[in-house]
Amino acid sequence: MITVTHVTKRFGDFVALDDVSLEVPDGSLTALLGPSGSGKSTLLRIIGGLETADAGTVTIHGEDVTNVTPQKRGIGFVFQHYAAFKHMSVRDNVGFGLKIRKVPKAQIAARVDELLSIVGLAGLADRYPNQLSGGQRQRMALARALAVEPKVLLLDEPFGALDAKVRAELREWLRRLHEEVHVTTLLVTHDQEEAMSIADNIAVMDNARIMQVGNPRELYDRPANPFVMGFLGPVAQLDGTLVRPHDIAIRAEPEEGGREAQVRRVSHLGFEVRVELVLAEGEPVFAQLTRTEAEELDLSPGDIVWLRTAGGTALAA
Amino acid sequence: MAALALPKRRAASGGAGPLGLGIATLWLSIIVLLPLAAVLAKSLEGGVGGLVDAITAPSARAALLITVGVSAVVALINVFTGTLIAWVLVRDDFRGKSLVNAIIDLPFALPTIVASIVLLSLYGPRSPIGLDLYATKPALVIALAFVTLPFVVRSVQPVLMEVDREAEEAAASLGAGGWTTFRRIILPSLYPALLGGAGLAFARAVGEFGSVVLIGGGIPRETEVASQYIAKQIETDRPASAAAVSVALLAISFAVLFALRYATSRRER
Amino acid sequence: MRIALRTAALAYLGALVLVPLGMILYRTFENGFVAFYEQVTTPAALAAVSLSLTIVAIVVPLNVIFGVVTALALARGNFPGRGILQAVVDLPFAVSPVIVGVALILFWGNDGWLGGALPVIFSLPGMVLATIFVTLPFVVREVEPVLAEVGTDAEEAAATLGASKWQTFWRITLPAIKVGLAYGVVLTVARSLGEFGALTVVAGGVAGESQTLTLLVHARYIDDHNVFGAYAASTLLMGLALLTLVLMTTLQRKRA
């Protein structure tokens, strides 16, 4: 388990972290999710020892590591741009941590081969990083970090430099790897889809603070504030309340408690249908229907309909 | 990718740590800064008045004027020849071009005293073509042109390579001939590099010693340059005078480099 | 038009560089190789070669060590006065070699700031100090941009993998700056062998003792009126300069 207590960090006048506390459960795959500048990378680097906090403590597996160098924290770190050792082969990259610990050559070779087959790079051991694709380099970086059997694995936007398809593949692959290897993993990302699809536990950050911590479902269904709600999914505003567009029910007949609106545009996005409407006062709203619902209603621009929220999340705007 | 809002992350003492920074500072102080400070201090030994007297002594003043004059001429020559050579290297293609390109760096690699002897063999008393320029101002110009050859060429070359060809083609399609295109389209983009290169050439020329020492003759008030004057002063045990003229020479170099940097940054706005 | 420009450029280069160089080579070898060989193996010449190389052997390691430390401080640091430090590194380029000699005498000399604590005039330490002054910028300026470009990611990765600061420097940083460092060393060697102005002021130029190759060339021409001997020594220096050029070009390609 990783415990962060009351950590604050400033860069000059800029406050990167403001009294942040967090618990990362043992064996979990936790995501630090937030927009650029929210402090998530800084928090990760402080946990890893690559930055020092101005205040607060960090504990890993019960040991206070606040003032311990990164060398001795027993962490594995993966960087967004791979941080490959360009002048070394894949084999030497992956075996680097073991070589530093003076592990015998034969053992290093065996472990490297084992790791390379786990990450799917077997046979590429004698290549150099510049001969690998981005996705392969990142897998090498993971193998390298895992070679020294870290207590904790820290990943700083690991898929940020890859293109969309590779990113999706690698993301799924990471989840499977985690299930196989079971190391406590902390992943920084700005991509809510990434966090939602592979993390057990998500800490949402904004503006140097943690907004909410929970599993994907909790965060989506019960967001603590408008920021979290907006960051994790689409939001529409109706009657001063923030709701999910798919929780807006559209009726062709007037309804008790419903609001009158006019259809502006109907976009068919495959399975979903997006309906843009304007309320009586000129306020725009948009709702999301399934294909079936849309077929039943058969809406066209100019139609007058009535809107109501049908359960689900609702937050004061 | 990440953090457009975050300030640049730079550890307070960087890769060398506070010890490394201390070592670097000590090293630079002992080797460069303190000795130069000693020159400044010595030049003011007789107060500002003493400094001015030393600089305005007839031989000193003559040496400085000759130095600045000849260096300015050489810088100007380099503006033309440097651009010409850079142009040919970038736009032309012929057998042996890469060899010619390598030769440009020769003055960087050649000892200045060797340059002096080399030029003397062709333009001195033993000249096979009867062109004896020993102890004349033209000899100084030739020697300085030799050692400053690379500066403008190497400044202009990369800029020429980056020039927007399509802008030239557009100009041609609008009726502009070669010279007009060069003057109005290409040259303006070369100004900063030209100024920079000329400035470096000038700064190098005013301080030059080894290449002029044999071919220049060192005749006081005729072909004696400032560096030769300074050497003479220190050899005849007049350190204060040597220091004074040194300070004057340094001031001239710095002023020119500074002015050029100011001019280039203004242009870039 | 293109031909005209090409001819003009080549003519200028020919008249300024190629023909004079050719003249020296011709004059050096017109009496055969043996004559040249004799001139460069006289006791004075051998002593000069030895002294020049000794100076290089001292100057290069010092510049490598202090140059890399300085480059690290500049490329990775963010401290007040960084701009000044950077400017001081470039200073030697703007200072005339003769002024370097004067500065050294006024600082290290018997009447200087340090009161003659270290023997500088007419001695090896003085010549070494002068040579370090003029070659100081090379390694720093070649290594600094490489350090800035390579960035700290790989070094941080090495730290997380357990490498100490020294291990990280030796195994990760140094290999990354290899080529830039080599180029800086080549420039340093060339400049060291070619130093003349500062040495004229600081060294005694006594044949066989404190005469480098460059001082030898000068002495032979001016003092001994041994023009041929001067040409021969110059040719030797030219050969070294040519070697430098070749190394520079090779390394430049590796850098690109």
Asked if A41's CB is within 8 angstroms of B7's CB, the reply is no
Q: The domain containing residue C87 runs over which residues?
A: 32-255
The closest alpha carbon to A143, from A108, A104, A100, belongs to: A108
Distance CA B111, CA C234 (A): 9
pLDDT higher at A255 or C139: C139
Q: Are residues A76 and A146 in contact, defined by beta-carbon separation less than 8 angstroms?
A: yes
What is the predicted pLDDT for the residue at C116?
Answer: 75
What is the predicted pLDDT for the residue at C120?
Answer: 76
Asked if B117's CB is within 8 angstroms of C217's CB, the reply is yes
What is the predicted pLDDT for the residue at B2?
Answer: 39
Q: What is the mean pLDDT of chain B?
A: 87
Whether residues C8 and C67 share a domain: the answer is: no
How many domains are there within chain C?
Answer: 2
Whether residues C9 and C89 share a domain: the answer is: no
Mutation to test the C interface, candidates A85, A102, A103, most C Cβ within 10 Å? A85
pTM summary value: 0.84
Distance CA B181, CA B165 (A): 11
Distance CA C207, CA A234 (A): 87
Nearest beta carbon to residue B7 from set A14, A157, A190: A14
Give the domain CATH number at C153. 1.10.3720.10
Chain C environment of B121 (Cβ under 8 Å): 20, 23-24, 27, 231
What is the predicted pLDDT for the residue at B183?
Answer: 84
Residue A305 has pLDDT above 50, yes or no: yes
What is the predicted pLDDT for the residue at B269?
Answer: 54
Minimal C-alpha gap between C201 and chain B (Å)? 7
Residue B4 has pLDDT above 60, yes or no: no
- Mean pLDDT for the stretch of residues C144-172: 92
Chain A environment of C153 (Cβ under 8 Å): 79, 81-83
pLDDT higher at B68 or B266: B68
Whether residues C211 and C120 share a domain: the answer is: yes
Q: Predicted confidence band at C207 (pLDDT cuts at 50, 70, 90)?
A: low
DSSP for A12-62?
Answer: TTEEEEEEEEEEE-TT-EEEEE--TTSSHHHHHHHHHTSS--SEEEEEETT
Residue A33 has pLDDT above 70, yes or no: yes
| HEC secondary structure over chain C | CHHHHHHHHHHHHHHHHHHHHHHHHHHHHCCCHHHHHHHHCCHHHHHHHHHHHHHHHHHHHHHHHHHHHHHHHHHHCCCCCHHHHHHHHHHHHHCCHHHHHHHHHHHHCCCCCCCCCCCCCCCHHHHHHHHHHHHHHHHHHHHHHHHHHHCCHHHHHHHHCCCCHHHHHHHHHHHHHHHHHHHHHHHHHHHHHHCCHHHHHHCCCCCCCCCCHHHHHHHHHHCCCCHHHHHHHHHHHHHHHHHHHHHHHHHHHHHC
Chain B contacts in chain A segment 178-207 (CB below 8 A): 190
- The type of residue at A289 is L
Strongest mean pLDDT among B7-16, B163-172, B210-219: B210-219
What is the bridge-based pairing of β-strands A184-189 and A152-156? Answer: parallel
Percent of chain B with pLDDT over 70: 93
Mutation to test the C interface, candidates B8, B81, B99, B121, most C Cβ within 10 Å? B121
Q: What are the C-alpha distances in Å from C13 to residues B195, B210, B212, C18?
A: 22, 21, 19, 7
Whether residues C82 and C136 share a domain: the answer is: yes
Chain C environment of B92 (Cβ under 8 Å): 2, 5-6
CB of C203 within 8 Å of a chain B CB? The answer is: no
Q: What share of chain B is helix, strand, coil (3-state, %, to 5)?
A: 75, 0, 25
Q: The domain containing residue B219 runs over which residues?
A: 59-164+190-268
- The type of residue at A285 is V
Whether residues C5 and C56 share a domain: the answer is: no
Minimal C-alpha gap between A97 and chain B (Å)? 21
- The type of residue at A90 is V
Please state the separation of Cα C201 from the chain's center in Å. Answer: 18
Is residue B179 domain-resident?
A: no
Q: Predicted confidence band at B6 (pLDDT cuts at 50, 70, 90)?
A: very low
Is residue B205 domain-resident?
A: yes
Residue B12 has pLDDT above 70, yes or no: no
Chain B contacts in chain A segment 126-165 (CB below 8 A): 157, 160-161
CB of C176 within 8 Å of a chain A CB? The answer is: yes
What is the predicted pLDDT for the residue at C204?
Answer: 61
Whether residues C95 and C202 share a domain: the answer is: yes
Q: What is the mean pLDDT of chain A?
A: 92
How many domains are there within chain B?
Answer: 1
What is the predicted pLDDT for the residue at B33?
Answer: 94
What is the predicted pLDDT for the residue at B10?
Answer: 45
Residue B107 has pLDDT above 70, yes or no: yes
Whether residues C26 and C119 share a domain: the answer is: no
Whether residues C2 and C100 share a domain: the answer is: no
The closest alpha carbon to C52, from C211, C234, C244, belongs to: C211
Q: What are the C-alpha distances in Å from A183 to residues A22, A107, A118, A151?
A: 18, 22, 14, 7
Q: Are residues C20 and B107 in contact, defined by beta-carbon separation less than 8 angstroms?
A: no
Is residue B47 domain-resident?
A: no
Residues in chain A: 317
Is residue B76 domain-resident?
A: yes
Whether residues C65 and C180 share a domain: the answer is: yes
Chain B environment of A161 (Cβ under 8 Å): 1
What is the predicted pLDDT for the residue at B167?
Answer: 82
Asked if B85's CB is within 8 angstroms of C73's CB, the reply is no
Whether residues C140 and C120 share a domain: the answer is: yes
Minimal C-alpha gap between A176 and chain C (Å)? 24
Please state the separation of Cα A228 from the chain's center in Å. Answer: 13
- Mean pLDDT for the stretch of residues C225-233: 90
Residue of B nearest to C15 (CA): B122
Whether residues C76 and C132 share a domain: the answer is: yes
Whether residues C21 and C71 share a domain: the answer is: no
What is the tens place of the pLDDT at every residue in A150-203?
999 999 999 999 999 999 999 999 999 999 888 999 999 999 999 999 999 999
Nearest beta carbon to residue A96 from set C153, C161, C176: C161
Give the domain CATH number at B134. 1.10.3720.10
